[in-house]
Chain A
Amino acid sequence: MSEARVRKILLAVGTAFMIVFCLTPFMWMIAVSVSKYPDFLGSQSFVVTFRNYLDIITIGSLHFLDHLRNSLIVSATVALACALIAASAAYAVSRLRFRGRMPISLGVLALSTFPQISLVGYLYKLMRSLGLINTYPALILPYIAWTVPLGFWILLSYISRIPHDLDDAAIADGASRGLVFRKIVLPIAAPGLFSAILLIFIAAFNEFLFALMLTTDHSARTIPVGIALFQGLHGEIPWGYIMAASTLASLPLVTLAMVFQRYVIQDITRGALKG
């Protein structure tokens, strides 16, 4: 067989495997979520229904909408605050000379490797003594700190690429650094900011361990914890509900990732290879 032929066959088989591998569990999740009987592979037949979706939205005691609201509020606040904080720091590191520029940047990078388990015990004690357990700040504050390395590195690589001429000129005209940052750098860095916000949002939306320890009920509990601890009303594991909730929780993220795949792929790479 010729080399071109071998290559073609390998590619076709590989591509098919890759697609099946990546999509099957996701499709299975959706299939069970719209199936009247979750055991359709066993005894029952496959009957399509939207009952599971209706139920998790309308049955208040399942708290699905509460968890979703908590997740959206927490993740959105974290994404916006973290991106701003990170952009401001990235601006300083890319434009200004100061002592500690390099150690601070490396230190922040090192933080992203800290295991969550090494923070959560003390965080729990800290939040309890502040009376913040089961509130939004108990999640928002640690989440910002935990995602700031990601935002910082994405934005540093973005802001470093913006030519300095513009801000130099503005400063020569007497503008302050703060003004330059707000009026020139932030608007030019908008695409970078957007993709940082996207990635931070996804990270915060997915976070599990902090949310598990720092919340106690539906008033602050987020979607991942809600789904992990999902209990049925009657004891048996309600797979239809769980898969419907899972589908609703992942569709926004999957859609965002697919629509903005170019940004996402670029950022995952920048986040890991650092510029």
Chain B
Amino acid sequence: MPARGYNGRTAYIFIAPMLIVVCAFVLLPVGGTVWLSFLREVTYLPAKFVGLGNFSRLIRDENFWQSLKFTAAFTGVCVPLEVVLGLCFALILNERIPMRNLIRATILVPWAVPTIVSARTWELIYNYSYGLANYVTQAVGLSDQPINWLGSPASAFVALVVADVWKTTPFVAIILLAGLQTIPEGIYEHAKVDGAGLTQRFLKITLPLLKPALAVVLIFRSIDTVRILDLIYVLTNGGPGGSTTSLSLLGYKYFNEGDFGYGSAIAVVVFLLAFVLSISYLRATGFGKVFK
């Protein structure tokens, strides 16, 4: 059988286009960024090798620590919220509800709207004088005065969290729904016969069996949130007073000023954070099954 033998040359011809684009436009740039992080590379000055100079500057840079703290806090708040809400959505979508297909299509709306579009929409929602957020909070009596949502560090943080949760919860729900669908109906019927209540069935059957899907979603969302940029760029541009500057946004700001060495050092930190998370991702997916 020709198909079962070793045919390296043919295989490499088929794979070559993918390897070439990936090497040229992902691996080379990442390597380049690491190299730049060892340089003093500023517009109008000759590049100079400074070793770990940029990194020692990072350690002493208050803005960097502030960004790292914000990024960690943002990830720590957004991801659990998204997973809990996404799980609720998935549980609902897994039930036999009327117009299920239409409702499934509805939850794809936030997923399909471009991030920048959703960011600008939320920016208008948070508008001080005629935004929807202040209209709603005043109408339901949560606050008797309009809130300057993007004006103070605490409310800007909340505003960003809500916008991020809106955009990404559908993704979480879809993955968890797929996980729920692998749980056989029969298990629930047995438990019911044995007298297990709704809560008990959820805690003893659903949650444990959903663990793999939950792990994947948790790590996937963490990787994505640790490198967040676009939403923040539009909504607060890192403000007020730099309090919502994510690491990626901080790095971008240095690139934008022409400081490629220091910006790259920040980018390397983001890369390492995502890398650590993705290793746990590879473990969680129980990989290699595909290759058996």
Contact = CB atoms under 8 A, between A and B. Distances in A.
B132 interface: yes
Contacts of B285: 273-274
Interface in B1-19: 1-8, 10-12, 14-15, 17-19
Contacts, number: 326
B152 to A, nearest CB: 20
Contact of A126 (B32, B166, B266, B267): B32
Contacts of A106: 282, 287
B64 interface: no
Given A121-B33, A126-B29, A89 B15 contact: yes
Nearest to B18: A89
- Where chain B touches its partner, the secondary structure class is helix
A92 interface: yes
Contact of B28 (A3, A41, A126, A258): A126
B178 A96 contact: no
Contacts of B177: 265
A111 B29 contact: no
B234 A115 contact: no
Size class of the A contact interface (CB-based, 8 Å): 35 or more
Contacts of A95: 3
B229 A272 contact: no
Contacts of A11: 92, 95, 97
A239 B271 CA distance: 36
Contact of A93 (B15, B31, B114): B15
9 contacts: A22-B109, A92-B11, A95-B3, A111-B22, A121-B251, A125-B36, A145-B24, A167-B3, A177-B14
Interface of A: 3, 6-7, 11, 14-15, 18-19, 21-26, 28-29, 32, 38-43, 85-86, 88-89, 91-93, 95-99, 101-102, 104-106, 108-111, 113-126, 141-142, 144-146, 148, 152, 156-157, 160, 164, 167-168, 171-172, 177, 181, 202, 205-206, 208-209, 212-213, 223-225, 227-228, 230, 239, 242-243, 246, 249-250, 253-254, 256-258, 261, 264-265, 268-269, 272-275
